[in-house]
A and B are shown apart, each in its own frame.
Chain A
Amino acid sequence: MTPLLHALGVTVRYGALTALDNVDLRVEHGQRHALIGPNGAGKTTLLDVLGGATRAGGGRVLLAGRDVTRLGPAARARRGVGRIHQRPAVWSTLTATENVVVAALPNAVRPGRWRPGARRCAAERTAGAWLERMGLGDVGAVPAGRLAHGQRRQLEIAMALAGRPRLLLLDEPAAGLSVVEVARLVEFLRALPRAVAVLLVEHRLDLVYALCDQVSVLRDGRTVATGTPAEIRASGPVRQAYAEGVSLCCARSGCVPATPTGSCCTR
C-alpha cells in the first residue's frame, strides 16, 4: 500500500554543513511515528522539509503517492499536512476563536458548493468544537497573545486539527508544558482518530514510547534506525546516538537527553 508520507533521499545543506544526508522516511496512514535523536541531528529541518517550509537540496517527498517536493507550505497544508511548531505559532492579536477560524478556513468546505458565508460558518462551527475539545472553551474571546504558553500550545493544536489534516507534524509539543499539561497532551494525542497520522519530534522518550508505534532515530542528518519502540529500546543506536555529545538522564519512565549544560533537571 502507498504510504501516506514517503521521503526519499532528502538532503539539505547549509554551506559546508550537511543538515540532512540522504534521509528516507515512511509514515503509513494513521501511524504514530516518532523522530528522535540528539540536538543537531536534523529533526526540525526534516519536519521543515516535509511541511514545505524548507526546500530540500536533493531527494523527493511524496504525499499519498503524489510528488509534493516542489510545493510550498500552503499547498501542502491544503493537501492535508498540519504543522505544530516548536514555539507555539499563533496570531497574537486575534482571539483564540479567530485563530482557529482562520486556520480552518482553507479546508472548511468542500469545493463546488459555494454560497455566501458558508465557509466562515463552517469554520466557526469547527472552531467552537475544537476549542471545547482542547479545554479552551472559556478563553475563546481572549487575544491569543495574552494566553499562557500551555494554552497557546493547545490553541495551536486546535488550529492544526481544524484544518482537517491527514498528517500532523508535531515539533516537541511537550516543551515548556507543566506535568499536568503534558499528561493532558498525551491523553489527547492518544485519542486522536486514526484518520490522522502523526509524525512527532520529541526528546522525552517516555512520551515517545507511550504514544508511538514506530520510531526513527536520526543522528548527524542520517536515519540510523527505524523500528517499533521495543526494537529501538533494545537496540544500540539510540543509546549510541545520544551518548556522543549529550549525556542521558535516565529514570524509571525512560531516558531523556540532558540539557546542554549537562543538567538532569526535568523541564
Chain B
Amino acid sequence: MRDEAVRALRRGVAVLVLAALVLAPWTVDDYTVALLARTLALGLVGVSVALLTGVAGLPTLGQTAPYAAGAYASAVLGSRLSDVAVVHLVVAAAAGAALAAATVPLVVYARGVIVLMITLAIGELVVTVVGRWRSVTGGSDGLAGVPPVRPVWGLPVLATDRARYLYALVVVAVLVGAVLLVLHTRVGLLLRAGRDDEARLRASGHRVPAHVAVVHVAAGAVAGAAGSLLVVAQQFVSPADFGFDTSALLLLGVVVGGATSVGGALVGAVIVVAGRDWLFGVLPGYAPLVLGLAFVVTVYLLPGDGHRSAGGPGRLLPGLPASPGGRERPAPTGART
C-alpha cells in the first residue's frame, strides 16, 4: 500500500515538473529561459552521473569529461558536417561514448572512493587538454559564435531562446525516457543486483566487468549528448563549463535527488544548478561558499536508501563501500581474527 502511494506521489510530481518545464518559456524572461536550457543540459549530465553512481554503484566526479568531449565534438565537428541538431547530437554522443570507452580500463576494476579519485583525475585532465589545445578548442577563450542549428531536416533554425529551450527539453525527455525503458529490462535488474552484492553476481556466473564497462560507455554517451545541448543552448563553449565545481554540483544534485532514481537525479541536478545561478545574483561572490556548506550538510544529514545499513559514507552514496573490502563477508570458519 505504502509503496503504491509513494509511486503515485512520484508520478504526480513527475507530471507537475514536466508541465512546469513545458510552460516555463511562456512565463519567464528570455534570459531565464536560456539559463534553464543550459540547466537542462546539466540535468542530463546529472542523469549520467546517477546511472554510474546510483544504478551501477560507481560514484563519479568525471562525467564532465564526456560532457566536454560531446560539447566540443558538437561545436567543432558537428558544425562542419551539418546544421542539423540531431546530427550534432549523434556526433556528441559518439564522442562521449568514445572517451568513456577509452577510460573503461581505468574504472572497471576499481570501486568506491578509488573510482571517485580516478574519475576526478580524468575530468581534470580533459579540461586541461581542452584549455591547451588552442587550434581546435580555442583554448581558455572557448569557441564563440557557434552557428545556430535546425532540430531536424526541413524545420526552421532555432533562432530564439524559447525554441532552443524547447529543443533541449524534447531531447532530455526522449533520452531520459530511453534510459528509464532500458533500466526496466534485465539490464536494470543486473545493475541493481551488482549494486547490492557484486561478489554474488560473479558467483552466479555474470561478467561483472563487462556490465560496468557497458554502463560506463552508455553514461558517456548520455553526457556527450548533453554536451551538444549545451552548445545549442548557449552557442558558445569554453573550459569554464566543465570545471571541478560542475562535477561536484552534479554529484550533489544527484545525491539530493536520490542517487538510485534517474528522474530524481535530473530534478536534483536542475535544482542545485538553478540554485547556484540564483545565488550568483543574490549573494555575489558567496555562491560557492553556500553550495559548499550545502554539500557538507547534505553529506551528514541526508538519510540513505531505506534498504541500506546506516552509518558511514555508504548511506549517502550506495556505491561507496564503508570499507575498502567492499561487501561484508563472514569470517571464514577458520577465523583468523
> Which residues in chain B, 173-222, are within 8 Å of chain A measured between CB atoms?
185-186, 189-190, 192-193, 195-197, 199-208
Residues of A within 8 A of B335 (CB): 39-40
Choose from B185, B201, B334 the contact partner of A102 (Cβ within 8 Å).
B201
Complex CA distance for A169 and B207, rounded to whole angstroms: 20
Known: A40-B334, A87-B330, A105-B186. A93 touches B206 (CB 8 A): no
Contact (Cβ within 8 A) B204 A103: yes
Contact (Cβ within 8 A) A17 B200: no
Contact (Cβ within 8 A) A44 B205: no
Question: A21 in the interface, Cβ–Cβ < 8 Å?
Answer: no
In the complex, besides A40-B336, A107-B205, A120-B186, 5 extra interface pairs with C-beta distance below 8 angstroms are A40-B335, A43-B333, A74-B204, A78-B205, A94-B196
Contact (Cβ within 8 A) A163 B336: no
The tally of residues in B whose CB lies under 8 Å from a CB in A reads 27
Contact (Cβ within 8 A) B307 A92: yes
Residue of B nearest to A83 (CB): B203
Question: B284 in the interface, Cβ–Cβ < 8 Å?
Answer: no
Nearest 3 CB-CB pairings of A with B: A77-B205, A106-B205, A40-B334
Known: A102-B189, A145-B307. A89 touches B200 (CB 8 A): yes
Stretch of A45-53, A182-190, A192-200, A227-235 with 4 or more beta carbons under 8 angstroms from chain B: A45-53
Contact (Cβ within 8 A) A73 B203: yes
Residues of B within 8 A of A58 (CB): none
Contact mask A72-103 → B, CB, 8 Å, 1/0?
A: 11110110000101110111111000110111
Residues of A within 8 A of B206 (CB): 74, 102, 105-106
Complex CA distance for A53 and B199, rounded to whole angstroms: 8
Min CB distance, A203 to chain B, in Å? 8
Question: A159 in the interface, Cβ–Cβ < 8 Å?
Answer: yes
Residues of B within 8 A of A89 (CB): 197, 199-200, 203
> Which residues in chain B, 199-258, are within 8 Å of chain A measured between CB atoms?
199-208
> Can you report 11 A-B residue pairs in the complex whose CB atoms are below 8 A from each other?
A19-B332, A41-B333, A53-B199, A53-B203, A72-B202, A74-B202, A89-B197, A89-B203, A102-B186, A119-B186, A201-B333
Question: A173 in the interface, Cβ–Cβ < 8 Å?
Answer: no
Residues of B within 8 A of A120 (CB): 185-186
Question: A128 in the interface, Cβ–Cβ < 8 Å?
Answer: no
Min CB distance, B56 to chain A, in Å? 14
Residues of A within 8 A of B305 (CB): 93
Complex CA distance for A192 and B199, rounded to whole angstroms: 26
Complex CA distance for A121 and B185, rounded to whole angstroms: 12
Residue of A nearest to B332 (CB): A44
Complex CA distance for A103 and B194, rounded to whole angstroms: 12
Min CB distance, A163 to chain B, in Å? 6
Residues of B within 8 A of A39 (CB): 333-335
> Chain B: residues with CB nearer than 8 A to chain A?
185-186, 189-190, 192-193, 195-197, 199-208, 305, 307, 330, 332-336
Contact (Cβ within 8 A) B193 A102: yes
Question: A237 in the interface, Cβ–Cβ < 8 Å?
Answer: no
Complex CA distance for A120 and B184, rounded to whole angstroms: 12
| Interface-central residue, A19, A42, A93, A221, by most chain B CB under 10 Å | A93
Residues of B within 8 A of A145 (CB): 307
Min CB distance, A170 to chain B, in Å? 13
Min CB distance, A62 to chain B, in Å? 19
| Interface-central residue, B193, B201, B330, B336, by most chain A CB under 10 Å | B193
Question: A14 in the interface, Cβ–Cβ < 8 Å?
Answer: yes
Choose from B186, B192, B334 the contact partner of A91 (Cβ within 8 Å).
B192
Question: A143 in the interface, Cβ–Cβ < 8 Å?
Answer: yes
Residues of A within 8 A of B201 (CB): 91, 102
Residues of B within 8 A of A103 (CB): 204
Complex CA distance for A164 and B201, rounded to whole angstroms: 15
Residues of B within 8 A of A78 (CB): 205
Min CB distance, A168 to chain B, in Å? 12
Contact (Cβ within 8 A) A74 B207: yes
Residues of B within 8 A of A159 (CB): 204
Residue of A nearest to B3 (CB): A143
Min CB distance, A244 to chain B, in Å? 14
Residues of A within 8 A of B202 (CB): 72-74, 77
Residues of B within 8 A of A44 (CB): 332-334
Contact (Cβ within 8 A) A90 B333: no
Contact (Cβ within 8 A) B307 A91: no
Contact (Cβ within 8 A) A91 B332: no
Residue of B nearest to A17 (CB): B336
Residues of A within 8 A of B333 (CB): 39-44, 86, 172, 201
Residue of B nearest to A88 (CB): B200
Contact (Cβ within 8 A) B203 A93: no
| Interface-central residue, B192, B196, B203, by most chain A CB under 10 Å | B203
Complex CA distance for A94 and B205, rounded to whole angstroms: 18
Complex CA distance for A85 and B189, rounded to whole angstroms: 22
Min CB distance, A156 to chain B, in Å? 9
Contact (Cβ within 8 A) A19 B334: yes
Contact (Cβ within 8 A) A77 B336: no
Min CB distance, A119 to chain B, in Å? 8
Complex CA distance for A86 and B334, rounded to whole angstroms: 13
Min CB distance, A169 to chain B, in Å? 9
Contact (Cβ within 8 A) A51 B203: yes
> Which residues in chain A, 93-133, are within 8 Å of chain B measured between CB atoms?
93-94, 98-99, 101-103, 105-107, 119-120, 123
Contact (Cβ within 8 A) A93 B336: no
